[in-house]
Structure 1
């Protein structure tokens, strides 16, 4: 038990040591898939000419922290890929100063320097890039501890939640404010909202399809009601058979067999790299979804990571679940 606690604290202690060293060093300086859901480049909005008319803006993040910028953010480091995809869609790709290791495969980011991982960013590498804005995803306490350490170095760090379309649109609006691209952000949000409204209207008279979303197997982990996956399902005319309000839910096979969903989504990606086919798993071949051939393997980033392609995911899922009413 003691050994596990020590191992857990090592990343935080390492970052705190780096923080103190960097703070002392800079004290005298003023610089601080499948089935039609494969990856595709994120579309970019045209470059904005409105940044020269930028007015100072104060933005409050989802932890209550406030930050004011007197000029558009020009060197941004996003510690979660979804923020990078939103900024690219906004036409602000040239403002990205670095990326995490996991974001090398996002089109347009491979050439940027890597500053560690989402959960364990390297403070020294981040400071070397002189960012005027760092963005982190709300969630695990480990990430929040590191965020406070980065703020201790004098960096502007904002933390946002993105567990629904509504939250994603709110983040997009703030990114537009921070980059001087409010008009572009508003246009994109309006287009996405219209597509989602069209989806809801299209499937309003269809019987909802019960769906189970597999995040990981074995040690079965499911998508609950607290994440973007559930919102994607709802807009695609589906009903999540997992009722827990958490984003990720441990689920036993007995409960799955009892739920017996109409359709089964298998996530493939870092959390579920090589999922075993359902008809090769004990008991799974008795599920209605397997018997009826309503099993779909989906890309983890496409379905589980909120961003510009989340609306595409909802449209693709709707076509799979309701072929008789495909748009």
Structure 2
């Protein structure tokens, strides 16, 4: 009987210690993941994940990444369209994806998890989720302190970039239409990362009435609504990249756009989508760049890539 009691006590102590040391996160699919130790063999299938993992000081822990990742030359390249066996052959303990992948390729997630590989879907669509996203990456990898440092760095540099904006009265702030997808006449949702960049740079979003599409950072607007505010648009800004392969010429020559004040005054600019849409420290470069377009006569402290 004593042996049984001893075994019971040992099991109870082990259980209590395990519970106490366990960490948990809730991902973008509202799934809760509980784990007892940091993940050490990670496949990253979203460039923002890779950038942030590197910022957290991880390198050898990333065993493979996607074809859009330029920061890890020589690393195995995999895609979510691949046969799951190709990913499993790399013996990952964690695969980081985003909701677009889990919605489009549920079979990949199912097979990976069936083979005891944790799959976590993360992508903040609102600026308010940025720090939680970094904290979650820190928890998953045992780099909580480094994630906290990222957050502190972001706050400090943001304050430096935006310090001179206090000298610009609200009535003199530039009013902006921020294009997300030209062919579909879509803008960004008011709470998106891109609008956080614009407003942090001192711009005024003229499309605050845009309707967000599902759980994305994109919002429907339409040409009629843009032209209805044509005379209010001091500056026309468009993200440029895979999502929106557009040129300034495309925008200027769009039928009816000659009515837009910014088009007439040659205030049409492109900004790399990586600087305004990806949840990384690169958002700071986006804020600095957009600020330089809006207010070239004001100080540009904090801009790192101009």
Q: TM range, normalised to the smaller chain?
A: 0.7 to 0.9
RMSD (Å), alpha carbons: 2.4
Q: Say if 1:79 and 1:121, in contact at 8 Å, map to a contact too.
A: no
The residue that corresponds to 1:90 in the other structure is: 56
Q: Please show how residues 145-156 of structure 1 align to structure 2 within 5 Å.
A: 146-156=108-118
Higher mean alpha-carbon deviation, 93-102 vs 203-212, is at 203-212
- Residue 286 (str. 1) matches residue 259 (str. 2): yes
Distance 1:265 1:143, change over 3 A: farther
Counterpart for residue 210 of structure 1: 175
Deviations 1:49-93 (A, max 9, x none): xxxxxx653333233433343333221112211111101111112
* Residue 126 (structure 1) aligned with residue 87 (structure 2): yes
| TM-score normalized with structure 1 length | 0.74
Conserved? CA contact 2:211–2:220, under 8 Å: no
Cα deviation digits, residues 109-151 of structure 1 (max 9, x gap): 232222214xx45422221111111112235732556434432
- TM-score in terms of structure 2 length: 0.78
Q: Give the number of aligned pairs.
A: 268
Q: Which has the higher contact order (CA 8 A, sep 6+)?
A: 1
- The residue that corresponds to 1:267 in the other structure is 239
Q: Work out whether 1:232 is the aligned partner of 2:197.
A: yes
- The structure number with the bigger radius of gyration is 2
Asked whether the 8 Å contact 1:267–1:300 carries over to 2, the reply is yes
More deviation, 307-316/162-171: 162-171
Structure 2 residue runs of 5 or longer lacking an equivalent are: 1-20, 301-306
| 1:128-167 paired onto structure 2 within 5 Å | 128-139=89-100, 141-143=103-105, 146-167=108-129
Answer whether contact 1:138 1:144 (CA < 8 A) is retained.
Answer: no
Q: Map 1:1-327; keep pairs closer than 5 Å.
A: 56-103=22-69, 106-107=70-71, 109-117=72-80, 120=81, 122-139=83-100, 141-143=103-105, 146-206=108-168, 207=170, 208-243=173-208, 244-246=210-212, 247-260=217-230, 261-275=233-247, 277=249, 278-327=251-300
Q: Check conservation: 1:222, 1:251, Cα contact below 8 A.
A: yes
Query: Counterpart of 1:101 in 2: which secondary structure?
Result: coil
